């Protein structure tokens, strides 16, 4: 199986904005990268994996960590103004647009796509997740609250087969054009007849409502 793993964003960017990139943050980034290697990269069997990064031209040491460790097929920056952009949704959607463009430029026929971020700690191995490789996989549906409208979905860890790359890109474009959140992608996918699998059931006792990963702080 040929797999593309796309990473979006910058490790602990809010902390870096306020403190700069400290030795502690670099050490933490190394720790989390090892976690991804164990729980995700190294748990994909004999799959042939290519890595893609969409980040910022903000720190050579952090770039070097990912480039030397993973040898990504593409390591790219979006414009620096996005680093301090007021809308996290606009920023994330532009990262996705960049990653999709990089993947298409490679002209590699991937079987599976995984989109995630470099600052989550994965708690369950890929092989232990309830994934349906014939559907678009998101971790959970959110409950109905003022913050998350009814039945939005997690936006930190998406897994889907090649059949849905075009429709995924179309949904990203729709969200960007209409000022919507990344959490709303499930609604757009349903409109395009893309089947969705939710990996976990929402659990209000857990920080993010699930036990698949936690976000590093």
Give 19's pLDDT tier (boundaries 50, 70, 90): confident
For the cut 80, the answer to whether the pLDDT of residue 146 exceeds it is no
Torsion angle of the four alpha carbons 157, 162, 163, 164, in this order, in degrees rounded to the nearest 10: 30
* Stated length of the chain: 217
Helix (H, G, I), strand (E, B) or coil at 119: coil
pLDDT at 212: 98
pLDDT at 64: 96
pLDDT at 100: 98
Give 96's pLDDT tier (boundaries 50, 70, 90): very high
For the cut 60, the answer to whether the pLDDT of residue 117 exceeds it is yes
Identify each DSSP E strand in 18-175 by its residue range: 48-55, 74-77, 112-116, 120-122, 136-138, 158-161
Give 14's pLDDT tier (boundaries 50, 70, 90): confident
Give 145's pLDDT tier (boundaries 50, 70, 90): low
Residue whose tokens read 């849905």: 164
* Residues 63-87: tens digit of each pLDDT: 999 999 999 999 999 998 888 888 9
* Residues 21-61: tens digit of each pLDDT: 889 999 999 999 999 999 999 999 999 999 999 999 988 99
Domain boundary assignment for the chain: 2-215
Name the region of 208 (left: φ>0; alpha: ψ -120 to 50; beta: rest): alpha
pLDDT at 48: 98
* Residues 161-209: tens digit of each pLDDT: 999 999 999 999 999 999 999 999 999 999 999 999 999 999 989 999 9
Domain 2-215: CATH architecture, name and number where available: Alpha-Beta Complex (3.90)
Mean pLDDT, range 88-100, rounded to an integer: 96
């Amino acid at each position: 199986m040929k797999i593309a793993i796309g990473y979006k964003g910058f490790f602990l960017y809010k902390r870096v904005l306020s403190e700069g990139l400290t030795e502690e943050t670099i050490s933490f980034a190394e720790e989390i990268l090892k976690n991804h290697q164990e729980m995700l990269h190294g748990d994909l069997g004999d799959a042939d994996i290519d890595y893609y990064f969409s980040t910022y031209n903000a720190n050579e040491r952090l770039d070097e960590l990912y480039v030397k460790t993973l040898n990504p097929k593409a390591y790219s920056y979006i414009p620096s103004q996005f680093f301090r952009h007021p809308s996290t949704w606009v920023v994330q959607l532009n990262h996705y647009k960049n990653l999709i463009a990089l993947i298409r430029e490679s002209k590699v026929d991937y079987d599976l796509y995984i989109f995630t971020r470099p600052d989550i700690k994965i708690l369950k191995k890929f092989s232990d997740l309830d994934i349906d490789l014939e559907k678009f996989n998101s971790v959970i549906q959110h409950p109905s609250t003022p913050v998350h409208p009814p039945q939005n979905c997690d936006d930190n860890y998406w897994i889907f087969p090649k059949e849905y790359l075009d429709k995924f890109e179309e949904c990203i474009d729709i969200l960007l054009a209409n000022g919507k959140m990344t959490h709303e992608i499930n609604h757009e996918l349903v409109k395009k007849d893309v089947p969705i699998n939710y990996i976990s059931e929402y659990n209000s006792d857990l920080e993010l409502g699930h036990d698949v990963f936690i976000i590093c702080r």
